[in-house]
Amino acid sequence: MASNGEKIAGLVWVLSFFLAFSGGCLVLAGLASMQNLCHNDGPIVTNSRRMLQLSPETLIVTCSKAYRFQWWGWALQTAFVLLTAIYWAAKSRNAGVLIIGACATVLGMIFCNDQLKAMDDVSGRAFSRATTTFVGWLVACTGNFLLILTAFHLPETASAAAADKKAPASPGAGTTDVSAVATA
């Protein structure tokens, strides 16, 4: 029987998963619609590069290159959400999945900041699409952060907990007797 704390953690986890999933959907819609505005592969000016105080030639990139890093961020976000769902269904915790989530959250916050800065230079339809992407990254990162926090409060299955206890690290595991090697 689950305690009240476990029930609350489970509800918060479900809400967090919904936020991470829906944020990823918003990012997909926003990025696809922004890239749809690229009718040709002409040069565009990106606001995030202005902050680096680079020469004017480096401020200009093509439209197809402007969003490619954000697409990788979206792929990492999607992988985190899918892996989280798989491990949750198995009632197992995996630190590697949480590390992927932390990386997706950091990248998402960088992209959220880029979108916020880029919204200063656009108006109309481009502003609406940039806002959709900004809100998507913000919602996804909030969901990711809450997923990472609540992951440690979810109950594990008995078999997963037994597997962790079955193979404890021995005190001498991974060490080499240097004196025996030196005399040989």
pLDDT tens by residue, 79-132? 999 988 888 887 776 778 888 889 999 999 998 888 888 787 777 888 888 889
Q: Which two three-digit tokens encode residue 127?
A: 């502003």
Assess whether pLDDT exceeds 80 at residue 165.
no
Q: What is the pLDDT of residues 131-163, one digit of tens each?
A: 899 999 999 999 999 988 888 777 665 555 565
* Residue ranges per structural domain of the chain: 4-157
Q: Which two three-digit tokens encode residue 4?
A: 């009240």
Where would I find the H helices in 3-157? 4-36, 47-50, 63-66, 68-89, 95-118, 125-150
> Which residues face 60 on adjacent strands?
45
CA distance 162 to 17: 27
- What pLDDT band is residue 18 in, cutting at 50, 70 and 90? very high
Q: What is the pLDDT of residues 19-55, one digit of tens each?
A: 999 999 999 999 888 888 776 655 555 555 444 445 5
Amino acid at 184: A
53: left (phi over 0), alpha (psi -120 to 50) or beta: left
Instruction: Kindly state the average pLDDT of the residues 55-65.
Output: 60
The per-residue pLDDT for 27 is 93
Question: DSSP letter at 43?
Answer: E
The per-residue pLDDT for 77 is 93
Answer for the pair 100, 72: CB distance below 8 angstroms, yes or no. no
The per-residue pLDDT for 51 is 44
> Which residues face 44 on adjacent strands?
61
Average pLDDT, the chain: 77
